[in-house]
């Protein structure tokens, strides 16, 4: 079994991951059946020793029975080892097959809807599912259906021995149901608190400089400690319940074994059973009740894995399904925005509304306006990061959603206001981690962005590792490398949000040259800017105010009209669903 043989597209429901291993689970069920039959070896061996060997004083019979029992025990051990290893590999394969749609949902859904909780919770849920499947808990589930066989054999030994076995099974099943009722809610609460606790810790880690500089790290620590205390209390409640019921189950099983011995002894005294039946029934009783005992011991892990899997299924179901699409030619001519309305993922208010404009190859557009006027949000909509609530964004007449995401990304270069680089080399970041990238393409993008000389002056040049979030580089270096990433492979549409916010004079000159090159090769560039210098190499201007397009046209015409006071900003509420269509 190779992990690479199993994978799901992000369109597949997670139930498909389990269905893919249906035959493997059936095989484990068959192996479990053989194991449970072989488990009878100990009971029947003792039965024969007490009832045949001892009365007959036959050494050869004892040796023969012992050899047979040893062979059967060895075979049982081998099968249990195989079952354990199969479960570990199935758990890993299910993790591998499910991780692709889960990762896709974890990354893409926050751009479509408001996803509650910690962003890394899905990965922890998947880890918990894999951990439970790799434990001995599933083995107990596979052994459980064989319990009636053991009880039936107890009835064959004697009616009252069978009745005792049934009573014990009922009591332990009752404890299992009680464990389900008493641990379900504490585990759910603990999961929510764990997610909130992790989110706060990650936020504090990312903002460590702010906490240190302004001295409110202790207050954030106190908030985290409070969440941590609530989480520990919820986990303690679930663990105490599971531990208490597990202890009661083990004590009860010991009592039942002693009781079955007492009943067997009573029957032997009355001549209704043999000594071999008395001993064999005690061992058989122990084996019959063992799966329930193990299941109670693993119940907390089972509940956690089940709740985690349910959360993962709901997460993946929310992800829009990709359909097979006709491959479109690369855009070359025009970019149009029609009555565009945007809202934040999961938001109930328009941030951008009624934006209309069109651009042709070689155009350069500057988007200006006061703070909170919707400029950056508009750019997210133009890049396809936010899906339109109404209206459309088109390249060469086709809406952005007609391209698969990976294909669309080849035609768009996007530099967000908050620049983030990924752990890896500078070359990998510029190439967008394309495994088929060439050095010529990387250097061409860096040269267009005017960052080639800066990179080669670094100790390891293009092989310099940027560190997590690019912290090994200055803000200006990160921004210029991110600009090169946006320009990689000459995309048709280049969207830049405050590209000169961290640049010095040399960087601004390089940016200006990059904008000219984009336009000369027939690309379209849109720049959100506060500094007038960013508009020097653009020919069109769009003015945003209050989430609406206030003006659009030639740069000279628009800038000459901006002496009048800005319009007051307004909050725009999303219209009802029928109107939004």
Q: Provide the residue ranges of all domains of the chain, joining segments of one domain with +.
A: 13-318, 334-562
CA distances from 539 to 268, 474, 489, 509, 534 (A): 105, 31, 24, 17, 11
Residue with tokens 């319990």: 147
The whole-model pTM stands at 0.70
- In CATH, the number for domain 13-318 is 1.20.1560.10
Whole-angstrom distance, CA of residue 340 vs CA of residue 139: 56
Q: Which residues of the chain register pLDDT less than 50?
A: 1, 3-12, 566-567, 569-581
Q: Cα torsion at 62, 65, 67, 71 (round to 10°)?
A: -160
- In CATH, the number for domain 334-562 is 3.40.50.300
Query: Do residues 268 and 260 touch, judged by C-beta distance below 8 A?
Result: no
CA distances from 574 to 280, 345, 359, 391 (A): 74, 12, 27, 13
pLDDT score, position 15:
67
Using a 10 angstrom Cβ sphere, with 0-12 exposed, 13-18 middle and 19 or more buried, the burial of residue 183 is buried
pLDDT score, position 321:
67
Q: Which residues contact 478 (CB under 8 A, 6 or more apart)?
A: 419, 421, 466, 470, 502
């Amino acid at each position: 079994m190779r992990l690479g043989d199993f994978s799901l597209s992000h369109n597949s429901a997670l139930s498909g991951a389990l269905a893919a291993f249906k035959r493997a689970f059936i095989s484990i069920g068959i192996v479990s059946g053989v194991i449970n039959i072989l488990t009878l070896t100990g009971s029947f061996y003792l039965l024969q020793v007490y009832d045949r060997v001892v009365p007959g004083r036959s050494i050869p019979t004892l040796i023969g029975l012992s050899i047979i029992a040893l062979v059967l025990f060895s075979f049982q051990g081998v099968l249990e080892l195989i079952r354990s290893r199969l479960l570990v590999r199935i758990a890993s394969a299910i993790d591998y097959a499910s991780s692709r749609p889960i990762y896709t949902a974890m990354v893409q859904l926050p751009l479509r809807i408001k996803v509650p909780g910690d962003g890394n919770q899905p990965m922890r849920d998947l880890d918990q599912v894999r951990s439970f499947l790799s434990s001995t808990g599933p083995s107990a589930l596979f052994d459980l259906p064989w319990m009636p066989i053991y009880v039936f054999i107890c009835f064959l030994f004697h009616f009252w021995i069978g009745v005792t076995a049934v009573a014990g099974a009922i009591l332990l099943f009752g404890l299992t149901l009680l464990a389900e009722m008493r641990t379900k809610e504490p585990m759910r609460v603990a999961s929510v608190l764990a997610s909130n606790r992790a989110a706060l810790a990650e936020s504090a880690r990312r903002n460590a400089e702010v906490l240190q500089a302004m001295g409110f790290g202790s207050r954030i620590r106190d908030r985290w400690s409070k969440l941590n205390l609530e989480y520990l209390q919820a986990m303690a409640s679930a663990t105490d319940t599971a531990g208490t019921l597990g202890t009661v189950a083990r004590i009860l099983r010991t009592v039942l074994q002693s009781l079955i011995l007492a009943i067997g002894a009573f029957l032997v005294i009355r001549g209704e059973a043999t000594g071999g039946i008395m001993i064999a029934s005690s061992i058989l009783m122990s084996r019959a009740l063992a799966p329930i005992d193990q299941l109670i011991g693993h119940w907390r892990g089972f509940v956690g894995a089940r709740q985690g899997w349910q959360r993962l299924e709901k997460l993946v179901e929310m992800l829009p399904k990709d359909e097979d699409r006709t491959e479109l030619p690369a855009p070359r001519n025009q970019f149009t925005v029609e009555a565009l309305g945007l809202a934040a993922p999961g938001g109930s208010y328009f941030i951008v509304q009624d934006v209309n404009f069109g651009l042709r190859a070689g155009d350069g557009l500057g988007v200006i306006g006061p703070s909170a006027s919707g400029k950056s949000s508009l750019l997210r909509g133009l890049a396809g990061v936010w899906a339109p609530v109404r209206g459309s964004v088109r390249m060469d007449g086709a809406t952005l959603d007609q391209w698969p995401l990976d294909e669309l990304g080849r035609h768009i270069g996007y530099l967000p206001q908050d620049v983030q680089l990924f752990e890896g080399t500078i070359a990998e970041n510029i190439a967008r981690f394309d495994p088929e990238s060439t050095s010529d393409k990387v250097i061409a993008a860096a040269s267009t962005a005017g960052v080639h000389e800066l990179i080669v002056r670094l100790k390891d040049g293009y092989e310099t590792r940027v560190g997590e979030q690019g912290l090994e580089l200055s803000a200006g270096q990160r921004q210029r490398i991110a600009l090169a990433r946006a320009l990689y492979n000459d995309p048709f549409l280049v969207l830049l949000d405050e590209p000169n916010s961290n640049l010095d004079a040399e960087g601004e000159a390089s940016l200006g040259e990059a904008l000219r090159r984009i336009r000369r090769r027939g690309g379209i560039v849109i720049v959100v800017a506060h500094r007038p210098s960013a508009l020097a190499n653009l020919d069109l201007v769009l003015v945003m105010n209050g989430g609406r397009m206030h003006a659009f046209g030639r740069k000279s015409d628009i800038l000459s009209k901006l002496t009048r006071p800005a319009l007051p900003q307004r909050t725009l509420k999303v219209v009802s669903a029928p109107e939004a269509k």
